[in-house]
């Protein structure tokens, strides 16, 4: 299975925000998990606590769901 998860959260930028795409389309910049949940909710995807750990739903790049500070 080589399919990419529908949600991709990119590495933290210098300001701590992480760009988010859903189905390849940019949906905004998240500054916390609450923002990620809001993007999921707006897209009609599961927006519950366990969703953040589902690798079939979200691909976290440059750190996991609790990494919000840039390493740059």
Give the model confidence (pLDDT) of 7-61 as tens digits: 999 999 999 899 999 999 999 999 999 999 999 999 999 888 888 999 999 999 9
Determine the Cα angle at 61 with ends 8 and 4, to 5°: 45
pLDDT band at 70 (very low <50, low <70, confident <90, very high): confident
Q: Answer whether 30's CB lies under 8 Å from 17's CB.
A: yes
Per-residue pLDDT at 2 exceeds 80: no
pTM for the whole structure: 0.90
């Amino acid at each position: 299975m080589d399919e990419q998860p529908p949600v991709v959260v990119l590495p933290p930028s210098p300001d701590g925000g992480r760009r988010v795409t859903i189905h390849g389309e940019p949906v905004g910049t998240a500054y916390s998990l609450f923002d990620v949940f809001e993007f999921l909710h707006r897209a009609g995807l599961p927006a519950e606590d366990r969703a953040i750990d589902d690798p079939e739903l979200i691909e976290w790049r440059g750190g996991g769901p609790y990494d919000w500070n840039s390493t740059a």
